[in-house]
Amino acid sequence: MARKKIALIGAGNIGGTLAHLAALKGLGDIVLFDVVEGVPQGKALDLSQCGPVEGFDAKITGTNDYADIKDADVIIVTAGVARKPGMSRDDLLGINLKVMKAVGEGIKNNAPNAFVICITNPLDAMVWALREFSGLPHNKVVGMAGVLDSARFSHFLAEEFQVSVKEVNSFVLGGHGDTMVPVVQYSTVAGIPIPDLIKQGRSTKERIDAIVQRTRSGGGEIVGLLKTGSAFYAPATSGIAMAEAYLFDQKRLLPCAANLTGQYGVDNLYVGAPVIIGKDGVEQVVEIELDAEAKANLQVSVDAVKELLDACKGIDSSL
């Protein structure tokens, strides 16, 4: 069987880490695309030279030409610019919208059958715009945020309860940003819901509330420490988990930014929700019963996403 082809649009911090992980995990041949000349080629050569040490034969190439992503099976998009001091949110939206337009057209013309995972911020707006510009079916375009946000939540919970991360299962829903909704009700340690563990005296509501807050500002905490960029190891790992669910038809139930069609009272909007990912991409959006607090928080998050989309439509009249 021919090797799968993984195209990574954006060869920055996350793009490079995605390529490294995809090669180590033997997911297929890898094409790194970027608008900057030399960077994808240089990273591809460096990564190729891991092959003899790690024992992988994946072909890793760098390019500035969309023709090279032809017939890719999976495309992960991290292309864009980060917000710089003095840049308004709308300035950033305008720049990254243009990037999504170019990427969407590149995908439409070269790899219309791919499963596309968008990581670029502001995530919920960019994944929606990328879907619009590429014209791919909604089930084949998905955004990565919930897997990362849940990983952060789970990491903090494992520390709190002093157990292996393997025992922790957690869910973060809604938009990617300050309004995300870590769902305590459905987060468990070895199947035991967090509220029950609080009742048992293993933690307190105040401590869990603090963890929820730390999860919400998890990206900012890392930016504050790094100063020159944002998190990239865990975002890349999370993107790869989604790619694997598709490539290996794993039917994993993962929180992803997916197009909702009435679920959670949301219609035709990309918002973080639990979805099943398998060989057909997003195969199902799973609705879970939320308590009043989570429901209200999700509404705030959905409203924030809607506001972002309205801003996008104001910037690009073709949307």
207 annotated ligand-binding residue: no
What are the DSSP calls for 197-222, one per residue? HHHTTSS-HHHHHHHHHHHHTHHHHH
Q: Find the residue with minimal CB distance to ligand TXD.
A: 12
User: Is residue 145 part of the contact set for ligand TXD (CB under 6 A)?
Assistant: yes
Choose one: 4-12, 201-209, 277-285, 297-305; the region binding ligand TXD (CB under 6 A). Answer: 4-12
Q: Any catalytic annotation for residue 176?
A: yes
Choose one: 13-21, 178-186, 242-250, 279-287; the region binding ligand TXD (CB under 6 A). Answer: 13-21
User: Is residue 24 part of the contact set for ligand TXD (CB under 6 A)?
Assistant: no
Neighbours of 46 (CB within 10 A): 14
144 contact partners, CB below 8 Å, separation of at least 6 = 76, 117, 118, 119, 123, 235, 238, 239, 242, 256, 257
List the catalytic residue out of 20, 138, 155, 176.
176
Which residues sit opposite 141 in a β-bridge?
116
Pairing of strands 74-77, 115-118: parallel
Residue 146's nearest CA partner among 166, 167, 119, 126 is: 119
66 contact partners, CB below 8 Å, separation of at least 6 = 33, 106, 109, 110
211 annotated ligand-binding residue: no
Tell me the two tokens of residue 199: 């009742």
To ligand TXD, the closest distance from the beta carbon of 202 in angstroms equals 30
The residue among 35 and 296 lying less far from ligand TXD, judged by its C-beta, is 35
Q: Which of 48, 63, 110, 120 touches ligand TXD (CB under 6 A)?
A: 120
304 annotated ligand-binding residue: no
Angstrom distance (rounded) from CA 261 to CA 123: 19
Give me the helices (H) in the chain, please: 13-24, 39-48, 51-54, 89-110, 123-134, 146-161, 194-199, 205-216, 218-226, 233-247, 292-315
To ligand TXD, the closest distance from the beta carbon of 180 in angstroms equals 10
To ligand TXD, the closest distance from the beta carbon of 242 in angstroms equals 11
146 contact partners, CB below 8 Å, separation of at least 6 = 171, 172, 173, 176, 254, 255, 256, 257, 272, 273, 274
119 annotated ligand-binding residue: yes
91 annotated ligand-binding residue: no
In the shown chain, the binding pattern of residues 218 to 257 toward ligand TXD, with x for contact by CB under 6 A and - for none, equals -x---------xxxx--x----------------------
User: Is residue 146 part of the contact set for ligand TXD (CB under 6 A)?
Assistant: no
The DSSP 8-state label assigned to residue 175 in this structure reads -
297 annotated ligand-binding residue: no
Window 44-63: residues binding ligand TXD (CB under 6 A) = none
Q: Which of 43, 176, 189, 264 touches ligand TXD (CB under 6 A)?
A: 176
Q: Residue 16, SS3?
A: helix
In the shown chain, the binding pattern of residues 64 to 103 toward ligand TXD, with x for contact by CB under 6 A and - for none, equals --------------xxxxx----------------x--xx
Q: How far is CA 98 from the centre of its chain?
A: 19
Choose one: 21-29, 140-148, 159-167, 283-291; the region binding ligand TXD (CB under 6 A). Answer: 140-148
Which residues of this chain interact with ligand TXD, rule CB under 6 A? 9-15, 34-36, 39, 78-82, 99, 102-103, 119-121, 123, 144-145, 148, 176, 219, 229-232, 235
Residues annotated as catalytic (active site), given as ranges: 176
Binding residues: 10-15, 34, 83, 89, 96, 119-121, 152
Binding residues for NAD(+): 10-15, 34, 96, 119-121
